[in-house]
Amino acid sequence: MASQTNSRRSRQLFEAKFDPRLKKYSFYGGLLLLTITLVGILLIPFWFIFGKKYIDRYYDSLFCELTTRALHFKKGVWFQTERTIPLDKIQDLTFKEGPVLRYFGLSYLKIETAGQSVQGAADMSLTGIIDARKFREMVLDQRDDITDMYPTAPESTSPGTLSASDSELLPLLRDINKTLKSIEQKVGLPNK
């Protein structure tokens, strides 16, 4: 049993590093946000005093690793977020480089998973990973390795044919159907 548990544990394949230019991008992004809001203009002096310290702590809290089975991500200073996304649930990793990100030498990875609650929303996003294109390819390659090794969907059968497991369930489903009809008769519900 112990050897079975050890074989299912994931091991670290790669730890992503974040570009130090992310600090400058975050500082100026925060400054821009404060500048375009009326209340924010009053907070700009505080941003110059405390913003750099906050951004340094935020940058130090960033952690992202690819393991054999999942993608792990941590961030946050006051409110900490820790996410683990199984690789077989990842649908796509979108790589983006807009003009502002390109100016700072950064890029953005948007991770979309199966069963997202809001259509088009990212399940997780990573800004400032060093060599994001290479990291994206590593994640997608590992995802493909996992899904090839452990297929989640059963092989498709043509309509009207039953697989071995389906044929085993058929008598059970018939018994359940008979029981439900019996209950309907005792309760007085009309037969369908």
Is 38 a member of any domain?
Answer: yes
In this structure, are 86 and 136 located in the same domain?
yes
CATH number (domain holding residue 13): 2.30.29.30
| pLDDT, average across residues 82-91 | 89
Q: How far apart are CA 58 and CA 77, in angstroms?
A: 5
Domain tally for the chain?
A: 2
Q: How far apart are CA 58 and CA 80, in angstroms?
A: 10
Question: Which stretch, 64-68, 112-116, 180-184, has highest mean pLDDT?
Answer: 64-68
pLDDT above 70: residue 5? no
In this structure, are 144 and 161 located in the same domain?
no
Which tokens belong to 166? 């389906």
pLDDT for the residue numbered 2: 43
Is 4 a member of any domain?
Answer: no
| pLDDT, average across residues 40-64 | 94
Q: What is the chain's mean pLDDT, rounded?
A: 82
pLDDT above 80: residue 135? yes
Is 1 a member of any domain?
Answer: no
| pLDDT, average across residues 117-129 | 71
pLDDT above 90: residue 38? no
Is 2 a member of any domain?
Answer: no
pLDDT above 80: residue 30? yes
pLDDT for the residue numbered 124: 81
Share of the chain above pLDDT 70, in %: 80
**Residue tagged 């049993």 (tokens):** 1
In this structure, are 164 and 136 located in the same domain?
no
In this structure, are 38 and 86 located in the same domain?
yes
Residues 6+ apart with CB under 8 A from 77: 54, 57, 58, 61
In this structure, are 169 and 124 located in the same domain?
no
What dihedral do alpha carbons 124, 129, 134, 140 form, nearest 10°? Answer: -10
Which 8-state DSSP code applies to residue 29? H
In this structure, are 33 and 100 located in the same domain?
yes
Is 3 a member of any domain?
Answer: no
Q: How far apart are CA 112 and CA 167, in angstroms?
A: 36
| Domain enclosing residue 176, as ranges | 157-192
Is 88 a member of any domain?
Answer: yes
Give the residue, 184 or 135, on which the prediction is more confident.
135
In this structure, are 108 and 61 located in the same domain?
yes
pLDDT for the residue numbered 173: 81
Confidence of residue 32 (pLDDT cuts 50, 70, 90): very high
Is 44 a member of any domain?
Answer: yes
Q: How far apart are CA 49 and CA 143, in angstroms?
A: 44
